[in-house]
Structures are given as C-alpha cells and as structure tokens.
C-alpha cells in the first residue's frame, strides 16, 4: 500500500450531486459503455469514500425517548381495547403521559441534577406500572405494541441504571446508543472531532475515469468504515472488473477489500499518517518520507 495522497471521489460525488454531472451524465456515460458491449473494466481506478447521511427519525434525549415510546404503546393499547388514551393512562397509572409532553408533566428545574434524578425515578416508576398493566391484560404480545415495548426496554437498559436501590440516569454514554424511537438504526456519528451528525454513513465506490458509481452501502453512523466493504464488494462482484488502483480514506485500510486488491496485484492509495502513529509505532508516518512533488517521488 502506498502512502500517497489518494485522489478520492470526484467533488460532485462527495457533496451529493449538484455539480457538473448532477443531470446524470455520469450514469449515462456508464450506461453507454455497457451498451457498446463493454462487459468489464480493465485497469479500473476505483475510489471509495463515505459521507454523513442524516436519518429521518427525531433524535431525542432520554426523557423524551421514554415518553415517545410510552405514548405509542398507550395509543396502540387504546385502539386494541376500544378505549381512549386517557382511560388507558388512568387504568395503567401513568398520569405523566396525559401531559402535553413528558417534561411539561414533570415540571422541574432541568438545570438541577437532583431534581432530574428525582424526575427520572418518577418516570421510571410509572413506566414500570405501564408494563405491569400490559402484562396483566396480556397486551404485551400484541404486534402493534411490540416494537415500542422493545424500544422502551432498550432505552431503559442503555440510559438508566440502579444505584443504592434508586433509578438514575446512566453516567457516560452507552455503546451503540439508540437515539430515535421511529428509526431504530440511527446512531450518533462524527465526521471530525468537531462535527457531529445523527443517522448513517453513506459509502460510495466510483470509477475515477468515468465517475460512474459502481457500488454503495449504508451503515449506522457509529460503525467503522471497514464494515461497509462486504456490501460494496457484493455490488462490485456484479461487474467483470479488475481493480488496478484503489483510492481510499485511511478508515478503510483494514477492510477485506483492501486485502483483496493487494493480493490481486493492485495498488492501494491512502493519505499518509500526519506523524508517528501512536497506535502502531512500528509503521511509517508522513514525516518519515522526503516528498518531492515535482518528480512525483517519495524517499
């Protein structure tokens, strides 16, 4: 693998369209190549990169996640029992769900950590009563309720903990934390140290010469890039191609696709590490080379 600056995706593909080829001319060119009988790409120069893909679900904090799931449960239970939401809330002992919002019903100073701890314990107690009522009425197994009962259980497990017999908000952030009730696969992600996003990562593999997109994949925002390569490889297998060079972000270095390209005699191009890599001190970094831009050589 070479430590050269990888060309990466063309700019119009990185920003999601709107460039010179946003009218689909890149795809038209690719279709034309295939239409003329080109059944394979010889000496293909492939580039893979990822970009944030915002999820459609609403991202909420712990209180609102719990309240959102519980309201959905109450609404579904009301339909199944031919009752009103108000009747279900009273029978199940969850008056907080009758408020315009969970936080409005709790009515506390949200800057006071003691009041927040008391509020989450109060909310958790009412949700426990809701679960007991559902079990008693044998509604927990009904299909309309199951996704939201599972969501409620997941949020409680990831965001709450019991300390000295009292329920409290978990310290720190749980691994693989769910952030949306309606879109269960959405996750928190980072494009950089300062830029966060919620949803997914979109992975695109494009032919650098024709700019034709040959493969794509979608992963939760918190997953490493290398996990997208099996799906990308499945798409690439539909084409009769040989990858001569693969331009990637360093996050894809440990992927199975990189190994496949290297074993087939291809070249992998990736941006070099800025300095000595503390996680792998025996590897070379950018500062270990004398880069000569004009002749295009590095020593």
Q: Are residues 50 and 68 in the same domain?
A: no
pLDDT score at 239: 85
Q: How far apart are CA 94 and CA 152, in angstroms?
A: 14
Residue 28 predicted with pLDDT over 50: no
Q: Are residues 23 and 92 in the same domain?
A: no
Say if 188 falls within a structural domain.
Answer: no
Q: How far apart are CA 270 and CA 252, in angstroms?
A: 9
Say if 22 falls within a structural domain.
Answer: yes
Host domain of residue 159: 62-169
Q: Are residues 210 and 161 in the same domain?
A: no
For the chain, the first-to-last Cα distance in angstroms comes to: 15
Say if 3 falls within a structural domain.
Answer: no
Q: Are residues 161 and 98 in the same domain?
A: yes
Say if 132 falls within a structural domain.
Answer: yes
Query: Is residue 163 a contact partner of residue 170, using CB atoms and an 8 Å limit?
Result: no
Q: What is the largest CA-CA distance in the chain?
A: 80
Q: How far apart are CA 255 and CA 150, in angstroms?
A: 33
pLDDT score at 127: 98
Q: Are residues 152 and 98 in the same domain?
A: yes
Residue 12 predicted with pLDDT over 60: no
pLDDT score at 107: 97
Residues 6+ apart with CB under 8 A from 253: 1, 226, 268, 270
Say if 181 falls within a structural domain.
Answer: no
Say if 74 falls within a structural domain.
Answer: yes
pLDDT band at residue 249 using 50, 70 and 90 as cut-offs: very high
Q: How many structural domains is the chain composed of?
A: 2
Residue pointed to by tokens 């920003």: 15
Count of helix runs (H) and strand runs (E) in the chain: 9, 10
Query: Which of 18-32, 87-101, 191-205, 251-265 has the least mean pLDDT?
Result: 18-32
Q: Are residues 250 and 206 in the same domain?
A: yes
Say if 90 falls within a structural domain.
Answer: yes
CATH no. for residue 225? Answer: 3.30.420
One DSSP character per residue, 193-209 reads SS-EEEEEEEEEEEETT
One DSSP character per residue, 221-286 reads TTS-GGGGHHHHHHHHTTSEEEEEEEEE-GGGTTSHHHHHHHHTT-EEEEPPPSS--TTSTTS--G
Q: Are residues 73 and 164 in the same domain?
A: yes
Say if 180 falls within a structural domain.
Answer: no
pLDDT score at 154: 97
Mind listing the pLDDT tens digit for each residue in 161-206? 999 999 999 999 899 999 999 999 999 998 888 889 999 999 999 9
């Amino acid at each position: 693998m070479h430590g050269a600056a990888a060309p990466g995706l063309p700019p119009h593909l990185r920003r999601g369209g709107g460039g010179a080829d946003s009218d689909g001319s890149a795809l038209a060119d690719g279709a034309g190549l295939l239409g003329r009988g080109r059944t394979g790409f010889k000496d293909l120069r492939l580039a893979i990169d990822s970009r944030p893909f915002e999820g459609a679900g609403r991202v909420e904090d712990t209180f609102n996640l719990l309240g959102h799931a519980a309201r959905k449960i109450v609404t579904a239970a009301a339909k199944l029992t031919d009752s009103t939401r108000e009747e279900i809330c009273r029978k199940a002992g969850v008056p907080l769900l009758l408020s315009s919002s969970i936080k409005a019903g709790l009515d506390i100073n949200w800057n006071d950590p003691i009041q927040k701890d008391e509020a989450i314990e109060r909310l958790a107690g009412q949700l426990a009563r809701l679960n007991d009522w559902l079990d008693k009425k044998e509604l927990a197994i009904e299909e309309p309720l199951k996704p939201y009962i599972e969501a409620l259980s997941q949020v409680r497990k990831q965001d709450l903990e019991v300390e000295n017999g009292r329920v409290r908000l978990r310290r720190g952030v749980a691994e693989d934390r769910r952030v949306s009730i309606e879109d269960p696969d959405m996750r928190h992600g980072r494009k950089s140290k300062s830029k966060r996003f919620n949803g997914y990562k979109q992975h695109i593999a494009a032919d650098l010469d024709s700019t034709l997109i040959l493969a794509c994949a979608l992963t939760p925002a918190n997953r490493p890039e290398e996990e997208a390569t099996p799906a990308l490889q499945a798409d690439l297998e539909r084409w009769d191609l040989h990858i001569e060079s693969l331009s990637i972000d360093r996050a894809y270095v440990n992927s199975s696709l990189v190994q496949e390209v290297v074993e087939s005699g291809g070249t992998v191009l990736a941006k070099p590490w800025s300095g000595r890599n503390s996680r792998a001190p025996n590897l070379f970094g950018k500062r270990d080379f004398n880069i000569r831009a004009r002749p295009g050589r590095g020593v």
